[in-house]
């Protein structure tokens, strides 16, 4: 295991691929890449999102990347920390270019109630530890039209066309900074995550399998479950068990 390498020490750029996450896993399984390696693409033909959704992204407009992380002695029990690290890296990248964003649990990055970036993390385990984490990141940069009205991009927010190449370097810079600061620092990571959590400590409407209800997000459990105060008791929800209304 080589973990002394910087994130982005090797960047493989592809004009077109089905999904950078698929490609990264294939290379990792073949032993062709190691910790810190990044795959970027101009276009994906089968970009994948969470919950089996597709990830649509116009060609050469946006950041499409997957990052290989080989954590050292990293328990699967801490896997939500990988999501925190990734979300916070995107948040600090956006902050540097003047966009203030929040993290809609578990890992959508939002600007004024619109989604600007998405994350798809796929882990391979070795016993109780994570051997390989495949971190897929899609950030909308210069795309202006979205079939989903609830989406936005850097250029829409800033009202100018962005230099995609510089933004690609900038996100790598922030992944590096955040990796070095937070990746193994569970408490700090969680504290920072809560600072940017969407609807944190706000009473809002949600939906579960029991129907609509009003609740207040109070935190995220060790395992990454969303903690919501409903009628004075705290209920923990898994990814598919709660919907934001």
Closest CA to 79 of 143, 116, 128: 128
Cα-Cα-Cα-Cα dihedral sign, residues 150, 154, 156, 161: negative
Q: Where are the alpha helices (DSSP H) in the chain?
A: 20-29, 80-96, 154-158, 164-182, 186-195
Closest approach, Cβ 127 to ligand BTN, in A, equals 27
Closest approach, Cβ 134 to ligand BTN, in A, equals 9
Nearer to ligand BTN, 130 or 137 (CB): 137
Q: Buried b / exposed e across 3-12, counting CB within 10 Å, b at 16+?
A: eeeebbeebb
Closest approach, Cβ 64 to ligand BTN, in A, equals 4
Closest CA to 24 of 68, 55, 85: 68
Closest approach, Cβ 118 to ligand BTN, in A, equals 2
Local structure of 172: helix, strand or coil? helix
Nearer to ligand BTN, 9 or 43 (CB): 43
How far, in Å, CA of 128 to CA of 164, rounded?
Answer: 39
Nearer to ligand BTN, 23 or 183 (CB): 23
Nearer to ligand BTN, 24 or 217 (CB): 24
Instruction: Provide the terminal-to-terminal Cα distance of the chain, rounded to the nearest Å.
Output: 44
Closest approach, Cβ 107 to ligand BTN, in A, equals 7
Closest approach, Cβ 33 to ligand BTN, in A, equals 15
The pair phi, psi for residue 112, each rounded to 5°, is 45, 55
Residues that bind ligand BTN (CB under 6 A): 19-21, 44, 47-50, 53, 55, 64-66, 108, 118-120, 136-138
**Which DSSP symbol is given to 48?**
B
State which residue has the least CB distance to ligand BTN.
Answer: 118
Nearer to ligand BTN, 116 or 235 (CB): 116
Nearer to ligand BTN, 82 or 235 (CB): 82
């Amino acid at each position: 295991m080589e973990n002394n390498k910087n994130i982005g020490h090797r960047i493989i750029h592809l004009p077109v691929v089905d999904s950078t996450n698929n490609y990264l896993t294939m290379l990792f399984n073949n032993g062709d890449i190691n910790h810190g390696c990044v795959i970027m693409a101009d276009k994906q033909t089968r970009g994948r999102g969470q919950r089996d959704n597709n990830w649509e992204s116009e060609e050469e407009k946006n950041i499409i990347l997957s990052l290989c992380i080989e954590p050292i002695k990293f328990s699967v029990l801490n896997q939500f920390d990988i999501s925190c690290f990734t979300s916070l890296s995107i948040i600090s990248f956006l902050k540097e270019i003047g966009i203030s964003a929040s993290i809609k649990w578990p890992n959508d990055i939002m600007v004024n109630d619109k989604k600007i970036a998405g994350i798809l993390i796929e882990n391979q385990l070795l016993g109780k530890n994570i051997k390989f984490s495949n971190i897929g990141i899609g950030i909308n940069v210069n795309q202006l039209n979205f079939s989903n009205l609830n989406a936005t991009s850097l250029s829409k927010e800033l009202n100018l066309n962005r230099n995609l190449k510089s933004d690609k370097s900038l996100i790598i810079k922030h992944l590096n900074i955040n990796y070095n600061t937070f990746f193994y620092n569970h408490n700090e990571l969680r504290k920072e995550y809560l600072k940017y959590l969407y609807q944190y400590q706000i009473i809002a409407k949600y939906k579960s399998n029991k129907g609509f209800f009003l609740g207040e997000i109070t935190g995220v459990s060790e395992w990454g479950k969303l903690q919501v105060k409903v009628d004075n008791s705290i209920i923990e929800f898994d990814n598919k068990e709660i919907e934001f209304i």
